[in-house]
Amino acid sequence: MITIIPIMGYASLSIYTNKASVITEDSANLGGLINSDGGNTITERGVVYSITSTNSTPTIGGTGCTKDINGSGTGVYSETISGLDDLTIYSFRAYAINSEGTTYGGVLTFTTLESTVALPSVTTTGETSVTGSSAVLGGNVTSDGGATVTERGVVYARTDTDSSPTIGEFGVTKNTNGSGTGSFSESITGLSSGTGYSFRAYAINSEGTTYGSIDTFTTTGVSTTSVNMSTTGNASSGGACALGTPTTRYHDGAGAEPTGGDTIYTDSGGTNVFNGGGLHYKFDNGYSAVVSSSGVVSSYALCV
């Protein structure tokens, strides 16, 4: 049996708030009954609701209040209100609008049920097939928490930038790999050689995002920086350093340009040492130096 609570409105407009029904953890059926429009057509009707602790007497435009429109005219009406918080007390009442203004039914309350949905469970799978620029990363969604896993994948970052990568953080890359439960993996490319990375699996359902444990790996090779260089005269003995046609090489030093003790490579991955043959080379920073057959820079001096 429906319980209705009347409240007096304008003149003879008669409106009642119906008791909430079909209450779940995130929804409820709310409505009202309009017996009479008081001689002026009802142009809008519906319910207005709010979390009781925020506003216990909801009105249109009130703090924390939401209005749900349900047509016009007299009669019984109801609407399923969704997107509610679980285990929460709500206040609500019916309303009707005609040319005389807005009239409300009595205020009622209801409490949503406790949610049975939980965050998904996901584990991180250790890296495989690591090279100087790629690695296979993945995870395993072992439970969806009672709601469909709409997205899963891995997040990763250079360890020196972010050692606990999270979606949306600076320097963090997200790689999406489908949806649902089960194991997944992806070949991640475009990595820097000789560099440490942190990563972990993630999964998303209606309750939110959960992450697996953090794992780390280091790409193979040496971390290098490109430099232009060409053969030249002996700068250390005062020779001129006319730059011929430069060739791009790579060095393992900390700065933008090579210095004494750095090693020169022919590839960005640092796997092939440049055989300098003990000759002098000019770098595009204005310096010249002897590069040994093992690629090591020595006799470093500014060109004159």
Do 23 and 57 lie in a common domain?
yes
Domain stop point among 201, 218, 235: 218
Partners of 289 in the β-ladder: 281
Instruction: Spell out the residues 6+ positions from residue 76 whose beta carbon is closer than 8 angstroms to its own.
Output: 18, 31, 32, 33
DSSP classification of residue 85: P
pLDDT 10s digits, 255-268:
777 888 888 888 87
% residues pLDDT > 70 (the chain): 91
Who contacts 242 (Cβ-Cβ below 8 Å, separation ≥6)?
232, 233
Last residue of a domain, one of 81, 111, 141: 111
Same domain, 136 and 210: yes
Among 188, 218, 248, identify where a domain stops. 218
What's the Rg (C-alpha) of the chain? Answer: 35
Asked if 101 and 127 sit in the same domain, the reply is no
Regarding whether 151 and 73 lie in a shared domain, the answer is: no
Q: Give the C-alpha separation, 225 to 227, whole Å.
A: 7
- 8 and 98 share a domain? yes
- pLDDT of 272 > 90? The answer is no
Pair (171, 252) in one structural domain: no
- C-beta contacts of 278-282 below 8 A and 24+ residues apart: 279/231, 280/231, 280/232, 280/233, 280/234, 280/235, 280/236, 280/239, 281/229, 281/230, 281/231, 281/232, 282/229, 282/230, 282/231, 282/232, 282/235, 282/241, 282/243
Look at residue 149 and tell me whether its pLDDT is greater than 80. yes
Residue 293 lies in a domain: yes
Give the Cα-Cα-Cα angle 208, 209, 210 (nearest 5 degrees): 130
Lowest mean pLDDT among 25-39, 78-92, 201-215, 218-232: 218-232
Residues 201 and 242 in one domain: no
Look at residue 266 and tell me if it is in a domain.
Answer: yes
**Do residues 81 and 23 make contact, with C-beta atoms less than 8 angstroms apart?**
no
Q: Is residue 237 domain-resident?
A: yes
User: Both 61 and 10 in a single domain?
Assistant: yes
Residues 144 and 164 in one domain: yes
Task: Tell me the percentage of the chain whose pLDDT exceeds 90.
Answer: 62
* pLDDT score at 7: 45
**Whether residue 73 sits in one domain with residue 172:** no
* Structural domains of the chain, count: 3
Q: Is the pTM of this model over 0.75?
A: no
Q: Report the distance separating Cα 235 and Cα 213, nearest Å.
A: 54
- Where is 283: in which H helix or E strand? strand 279-283
Q: What is the mean pLDDT of residues 238-253?
A: 69
- Find all residues with CB under 8 Å of 282, minimum gap 6, and list them: 229, 230, 231, 232, 235, 241, 243, 288, 303
CATH number, domain containing residue 88: 2.60.40.10
Is pLDDT above 50 for 1? no
Is residue 10 located within the same domain as residue 77? yes
State which residues form the domain around 147.
121-218
Q: Residue 242's pLDDT is what? A: 57
Same domain, 42 and 126: no
Band (243; pLDDT cuts 50, 70, 90) = low
What pLDDT was estimated at residue 108? 98
Tens-place pLDDT, residues 44-68: 999 999 999 999 999 999 999 999 9
